[in-house]
Structure 1
């Protein structure tokens, strides 16, 4: 099979670390390919994958149960494409021998072989052979999913032809091209004086107004403000906190109010989920894109993740080309109808 040859020929050139997750299975795949390349009769003719209207309808029903409402045509198309990809991956896994001498698959087949055997206490090898004879490796969803997942790992970790490890220039370029993913959001530092509605009731806001005048008139600086107001378990100083962090601590209305407060003076009262606050904003740091040295690990991981996705897309395209794929029109009279689709190579 053309795709199998491309995958397995390139596996030997990939860094070993990439394949530790599937170590022994890839060895088996390579061995299977060696047998295929030395045996011309081992070539496999183009196969058909038919995703029936009944399967499409079942998938629609599954999505409806999962999300509580029928999927749109686009959502259903995405789900059908994913199901077809899984079928392609499963068949490719079989083609390169990932099912042979696979201990996980073997144990699963022994388990389900015991369910259908007249004597579940039979020898494991006997149960395994019975499961194979019944073709359970082709019908059991756990086995199929396991093999498809393993093949997906292979596809994600096979480097593209012109791929090299990302160097500093590549990482810097990626950082500049994707600033939103790495920009540090605005941060602020503040000190507050708290007046509890639990302790003061309806008088808390009026007390806050009077205390604000006192703080201003006596020129009370933030470092001397702990003696005023009520105890606050979360502390009186916030250092370099983002809007989201403040929102989680005090509530949305408090966080939004801070955006309009001038730094360097007592302002308020500002309402929170706990009561009223007099606030001294000490510093506001604008959003900024950090230098590569500070986020290099994150950028590198983003680059590698993007490459894995590119590998997967390219490899799935090649694998799909090994099959004629037909998606039948599903139900009638049930809303959106997915058009038939044919693809092949």
Structure 2
């Protein structure tokens, strides 16, 4: 028969033999926790889960099928535990870890911080909520991908021309000459990290000293600068609450793990071996 050649059929037969063999060797395992109670609360939970999925209540026949499926699942779950099938299973280990972490997050979601807590967190982590600094400026670019004496001489010429108010032509480049209301993030993306911080130190309406970037050298004149500001709590309360909960979740997980670790003696074989070798 074709069925006898199917790998899935072999898997089912082998699984059934293992199941029967285990029961024969451990007859008491089936007696342990043998009562399965499907009470009104459980039925309501199963029905509610169906309703969330299908946006309607289950029919009597569907509900009977849901309950039968739960009973089969519970039987197989308990027997799998009795047979130790959960032992050393990386998928189950990962799922249990996720579930415990989820329960931790759920506990945090029930904790409501006061407005003073959120205000304190806002002031403690301003970098997460402050508005971006903005700059309007013009720049003259000098390409440094040439002998150092050449580009330094060009810088001196440009500085002299700017001092005299003359028309200036820097090196050819795709970089714009004028920037209007550009954020510090955009500036650092274009010129390289830290360039916006250097611009913040340049006096308004004055040509700067040469500023080095990842692209070359720039002489810059800033016409407008709006520093980063921390908004009032009312303007960012939802964002602050979200970040506060994320932070609290990390703290709670760390505290829980630290507390749980005290219940165990942890031995890392490689470290113990190294210690023994050091004493010998």
TM-score bin (small chain):
0.5 to 0.7
- Aligned position for 1:249: 190
- Does the 8 Å contact 2:132/2:185 carry over to 1? no
Query: Cα distance 1:307–1:253, how it changes in 2: closer, same or farther (>3 A)?
Result: closer
**Cα deviation, residue 233, structure 1:** 2.0
**Cα deviation, residue 164, structure 1:** 4.8
**Cα deviation, residue 301, structure 1:** 0.9
- Does the 8 Å contact 1:205/1:276 carry over to 2? no
Q: Does 1:176 align with 2:123?
A: yes
Tell me which structure has the larger Cα radius of gyration.
2
**Cα deviation, residue 177, structure 1:** 4.5
Alpha-carbon deviations, 1:126-162, whole Å to 9, x = none? 89999967523222122122122112212321358xx
Q: Quick one: which of 296, 303, 306 aligns to 2:247?
A: 306
**Cα deviation, residue 180, structure 1:** 5.3
Alpha-carbon deviations, 1:208-266, whole Å to 9, x = none? 3323333342366xxxxxx8334432322345556665454334686675455332122
Query: Cα distance 1:290–1:306, how it changes in 2: closer, same or farther (>3 A)?
Result: same
- Aligned position for 1:279: 220
**Cα deviation, residue 299, structure 1:** 0.6
Q: Does 1:157 align with 2:106?
A: yes
- Does the 8 Å contact 2:108/2:245 carry over to 1? no
**Cα deviation, residue 278, structure 1:** 2.2
d(CA) in 1 for partners of 2:149, 2:174: 21
- Aligned position for 2:138: 191
d(CA) in 1 for partners of 2:268, 2:213: 56
Give unpaired runs (5+ residues) of structure 2: 1-7, 23-80
d(CA) in 2 for partners of 1:285, 1:140: 56
- Aligned position for 1:136: 85
**Cα deviation, residue 289, structure 1:** 2.1
Aligned residues: 212
Q: Which has the higher contact order (CA 8 A, sep 6+)?
A: 1
Query: Cα distance 1:118–1:251, how it changes in 2: closer, same or farther (>3 A)?
Result: same
- Does the 8 Å contact 1:204/1:275 carry over to 2? no
